[in-house]
Structures are given as structure tokens and as C-alpha cells.
């Protein structure tokens, strides 16, 4: 009974009293204009009926959202996964997006509750479609987690191709990834895969695009714990690529993983740092000494793949000496560049100290001269009998130790055929403390073998 009284008081206060006042005011203004209207307005039941009609009208307007008492809002839920429904054994679907966006609109409280529940599901039902050369226009379907909200998908439909699934056999190679995460003193010596071939499935068009199938050997995989020089077995994901290196996502690989046996090594070698120079000193000046980290001979330890670094003989450092010589010395701080295949160097930079002195000259006679770049099917003989004079330039303390054995002379026979030729003598100079000049040519006879 109390509930009904409360409802009555509510309607009396909100609807009946305001309407009664409106009617009373209207009555006063119109009572002189018609006795019929006055009679109607004076009936006790009229106000009750009028109030009831207006209450029902007010309710219908709110229920149909012509009038809103609560403010609506909208939010976008991005990257909602799309679930495909189709015969996976028989067909391949091309053109279907992996995700869509959902805009939900309604009361803020409903939107908040919807986001807390989550579990948004979007479907693309292709179970009734068969393979075709034409695209199908298919609308997405979705499930509501709050019925009171309005859901709008972007996009709402998609054009997809349904293709017959075919299969073929493809060879597998490996690719090392995340090498930078492997201990820099370790390197991969060997990799072997558990399979050399796999089955690839997809549309005929997709299979024709396959250029490589690679097993991705992840050297940064924490589960493998690659910390020592030994043999490991790790699982590798298989990926198909086209001839431009793009991943083919519409290709199924069976199996989709392989086991790889990798052998880690910790190969190292000590090699010297060698200073090369570019540019010219002032006239009359030469380099008297070169020191690396205050030593005339300096070596570093390098780590890397044995097959790549075993042939390295030095780490070169190039110093620009253009216009130097007025000062007695010059000091450089140089960053060392890693040669190909080197993963770790014991020193990443060195201090190079140059000293300068007055240049002198020394003539040295040489008779041992080799040749390079002789054409196939030909042989060459030097027919000059006398020694060739080579002028060595440097400071006195350096020149006194230079002999014929220190000079590596050769002639370049590129493009020369059968006959006798005057050829310039050239010097291979690995010593930055001395330079060489040869003013005369030698005669070389080239004959067929």
C-alpha cells in the first residue's frame, strides 16, 4: 500500500499539480469565451484523464528515445580478432582481414560494463561457400555482451576469394635470427635440420609465389639458454617467402616447426693492428715511427666464425696525414671497425702516435720481379738483364734497415697479348714508414703456352 501511495504522490507532484496549474490559468483566461469549455474544465475527472494521457505520452517518448534522460556515449574497440568458419581441409580464404574495429554506443554505464566483460567475438561465416574465380561479398556477424548497446563494425563486410587448397613439397633452408643477442664470444659453427623437405598447402596461385621455405633459428631464444660453446637442439618456426623476401601468410606448412641442431663455437685469433696512411706529408718530411697504444707492435684478440675470420691477417687502421710534418708528433684516437665475420674484439679503439723526421733517399737495386693478371694460355718472361733501381724514401733510421728483400715488385700484364712489351714496375708497400719510386720500365716477352 505504501508503494502505491508513493507512486501517487510522485505523479501528483510531477504531473498532476503542474498540469492543474496550467489548466487553472487557462480556465481563468478563457472562462469568458465559452461556457462549454468552462463546463469541461470544471469537471473533476477531466484533470485526471488529461494527466493520465500526458503521462502515457511522456512514457512513450522516453521509451522510444525521442526524449533522453540519460546521456549516450560511444567508444571504439580496436583490433578485434575475426574468426573464420569454413572447410579448412578443402579451401583457402584470401582477402579476409585478421581484425576489425567495433564501435559500441549507448549509456556510459553499459559501455563500461561491456569493456569490463570483454569477450568481443566477430565471425566471418564461409561454411556455405565453394571455390570460385569471383569474389564473394560477405557480412561479418558478431555476438553482443551487452544487449542494450548498439554495435557497429568497421568494416561491416568484406570481399573474399575462396580457392581450392592444393599441396606440394618444398625444400627447407635455415636462417639465423637475433644473432646480436648471442654472446659475442660465441659463433654458430654448424646448423643441421631434422627435415630437408616439408609439405606446403595453399591456393595454386600462392604456391607458385613460394621462393624459399626457411627454418628461423632464433639465437635469442631464452628457453634454449645458448650460453656455452656446445651443441643444442632447438625448435624452429617455418616461414615461406616470395622472391622479394615478403612472408606468404596464406601458405600452410606441414609440419609448421622443425628441430635444428646447432653447434656453437668460441673460435678466437690474435691478429695485429696495422696502420695505413692517406694523403701526403709536407715536402721533405717522413714518418719516423708509429706506435699503437704506446707499442710498436700491437695485436688484439678477435672472436667469430672460424671459416670467416681464419684468413684475416690484420685489422687495418687508416690515418690521414695530409699536410702534417711541422710538429714532431701527432696522436689519434681511432675506433676499430669490425671486419666481416668478427663478433667480438678485445679492443674497440686504439691510440695511434706518429712521429715525424726529415726525409732522406736510398737507391736499392732489385732483380726479383713477379707478374700479375696474365691472360689464360699465355706465359711471360722478363727479358731485361739488369737490375731495376728503386728509390726508397724515409728517415735515416728506417732506410738503413731496408734491403732488396723488403721490396715486393711486380708488373701488371692485364690486357697484354703475345709479343714484347715495356711494362711499368710497381711496388706492393705494406710499410707506412717508407715510400718507393721506380722510374724505369722493364721489357716482358709474352708467348703462347
Which CATH number do you get for residue 181? 2.170.120.40
Q: Same structural domain for residues 159 and 170?
A: no
Q: Same structural domain for residues 349 and 314?
A: yes
Strands 441-448 and 408-412 come out as unpaired
Q: Same structural domain for residues 99 and 110?
A: yes
Residue with cell 568481443: 120
Given 42, 63, 84, the domain boundary residue is 63
Q: Same structural domain for residues 440 and 380?
A: yes
Given 249, 265, 281, the domain boundary residue is 265
- Give counts: helices (H), strands (E), the chain: 8, 30
Confidence of residue 156 (pLDDT cuts 50, 70, 90): very high
Cβ neighbours of residue 253 closer than 8 Å, sequence gap 6 or more: 198, 199, 200, 201, 213, 238, 239, 240
Q: Same structural domain for residues 177 and 257?
A: yes
Q: Which residue has the higher pLDDT, 4 or 238?
A: 238
DSSP 8-state symbol, 362:
E
pLDDT (average), residues 319-332: 93
**Beta-strand runs (E) in 248-307:** 252-254, 257-265, 268-278, 285-292, 299-304
pLDDT digits over 78-123, tens only? 999 999 999 999 999 999 999 999 999 988 888 888 888 888 899 9
Geometric angle at alpha carbon 392, from 389 and 395, rounded to 5°: 155
Geometric angle at alpha carbon 284, from 283 and 287, rounded to 5°: 100
In this structure, what CATH number is given to the domain that contains residue 413? Answer: 2.170.120.30
Q: What does the pLDDT read at residue 173? A: 95
d(CA 263, CA 246): 29
pLDDT (average), residues 267-276: 94
Q: Same structural domain for residues 231 and 257?
A: yes
Confidence of residue 163 (pLDDT cuts 50, 70, 90): very high
Q: Same structural domain for residues 90 and 24?
A: no
Question: Residue 186: which of 224, 227, 214, 217 has the closest Cα?
Answer: 227
Q: What does the pLDDT read at residue 112? A: 87
Q: Same structural domain for residues 188 and 155?
A: no
Q: What are the grid coordinates assigned to 365, written together?
A: 737495386
Q: What does the pLDDT read at residue 387? A: 84
Q: Same structural domain for residues 82 and 140?
A: yes
Other residues' Cβ atoms within 10 Å of the Cβ of residue 411 = 22
Domain count, the chain: 5
Given 330, 358, 386, the domain boundary residue is 358
Domain that holds residue 175: 166-265
Residue with cell 636462417: 175
pLDDT digits over 192-249, tens only? 999 999 999 999 999 999 999 999 999 988 777 888 999 999 999 999 999 999 999 8
d(CA 364, CA 387): 9
Burial grade of 312 (CB within 10 A; 0-12, 13-18, 19 or more): middle
Q: Same structural domain for residues 194 and 210?
A: yes
Q: Same structural domain for residues 317 and 237?
A: no
pLDDT digits over 368-394, tens only? 899 999 999 999 998 877 789 999 999
Q: Same structural domain for residues 79 and 150?
A: yes
Which residues are paired to 344 by β-bridges? 303
**What's the length of the chain?**
449
Amino acid at each position: 500500500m505504501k508503494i502505491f501511495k508513493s507512486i501517487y504522490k510522485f505523479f501528483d507532484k510531477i504531473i498532476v499539480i503542474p498540469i492543474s496549474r496550467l489548466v487553472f490559468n487557462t480556465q481563468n483566461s478563457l472562462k469568458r469565451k465559452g461556457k462549454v469549455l468552462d463546463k469541461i474544465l470544471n469537471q473533476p475527472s477531466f484533470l485526471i484523464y488529461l494527466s493520465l494521457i500526458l503521462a502515457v505520452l511522456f512514457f512513450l517518448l522516453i521509451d522510444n528515445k525521442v526524449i533522453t534522460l540519460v546521456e549516450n556515449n560511444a567508444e571504439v574497440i580496436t583490433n578485434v580478432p575475426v574468426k573464420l568458419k569454413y572447410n579448412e581441409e578443402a579451401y583457402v580464404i584470401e582477402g579476409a582481414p585478421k581484425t576489425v574495429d567495433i564501435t559500441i554506443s549507448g549509456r556510459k554505464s553499459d559501455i563500461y560494463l561491456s569493456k569490463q566483460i570483454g569477450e568481443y567475438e566477430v565471425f566471418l561465416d564461409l561454411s556455405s561457400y565453394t571455390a570460385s574465380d569471383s569474389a564473394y561479398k560477405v557480412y561479418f556477424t558478431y555476438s553482443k555482451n551487452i544487449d542494450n548497446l548498439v554495435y557497429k563494425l568497421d568494416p561491416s563486410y568484406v570481399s573474399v576469394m575462396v580457392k581450392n587448397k592444393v599441396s606440394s613439397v618444398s625444400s627447407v633452408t635455415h636462417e639465423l635470427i637475433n644473432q646480436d643477442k648471442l654472446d659475442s664470444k660465441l659463433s654458430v659453427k654448424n646448423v643441421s635440420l631434422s627435415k630437408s623437405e616439408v609439405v606446403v598447402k595453399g591456393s595454386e596461385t600462392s604456391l607458385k609465389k613460394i621462393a624459399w621455405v626457411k627454418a628461423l633459428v632464433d639465437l635469442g631464444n631464452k628457453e634454449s639458454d645458448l650460453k656455452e660453446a656446445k651443441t643444442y637442439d632447438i625448435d624452429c618456426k617455418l616461414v615461406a617467402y616470395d622472391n622479394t623476401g615478403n612472408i606468404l601468410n596464406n601458405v600452410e606448412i606441414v609440419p609448421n616447426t622443425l628441430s635444428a641442431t646447432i653447434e656453437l663455437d668460441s673460435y678466437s685469433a690474435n691478429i695485429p693492428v696495422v696502420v695505413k696512411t692517406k694523403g701526403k706529408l709536407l715536402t721533405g718530411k717522413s714518418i719516423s715511427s708509429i706506435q699503437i697504444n704506446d707499442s710498436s707492435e700491437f695485436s688484439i684478440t678477435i672472436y667469430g666464425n672460424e671459416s670467416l675470420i681464419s684468413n684475416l691477417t690484420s685489422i687495418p687502421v687508416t690515418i690521414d696525414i695530409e699536410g702534417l710534418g711541422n710538429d714532431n708528433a701527432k696522436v689519434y684516437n681511432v675506433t676499430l671497425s669490425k671486419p666481416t665475420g668478427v663478433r667480438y674484439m678485445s679492443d674497440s679503439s686504439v691510440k695511434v702516435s706518429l712521429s715525424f723526421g726529415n726525409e732522406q733517399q736510398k737507391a736499392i737495386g732489385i732483380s726479383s720481379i713477379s707478374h700479375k693478371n696474365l691472360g689464360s694460355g699465355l706465359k711471360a718472361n722478363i727479358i731485361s738483364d739488369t737490375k731495376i733501381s728503386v728509390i726508397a724514401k724515409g728517415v735515416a733510421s728506417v732506410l738503413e734497415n731496408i734491403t732488396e728483400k723488403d721490396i715486393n715488385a711486380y708488373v701488371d700484364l692485364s690486357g697484354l697479348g703475345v709479343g714484347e712489351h715495356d711494362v711499368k714496375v710497381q711496388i706492393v708497400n705494406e710499410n707506412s714508414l717508407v715510400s718507393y719510386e721506380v722510374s724505369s720500365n722493364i721489357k716482358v716477352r709474352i708467348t703462347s703456352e
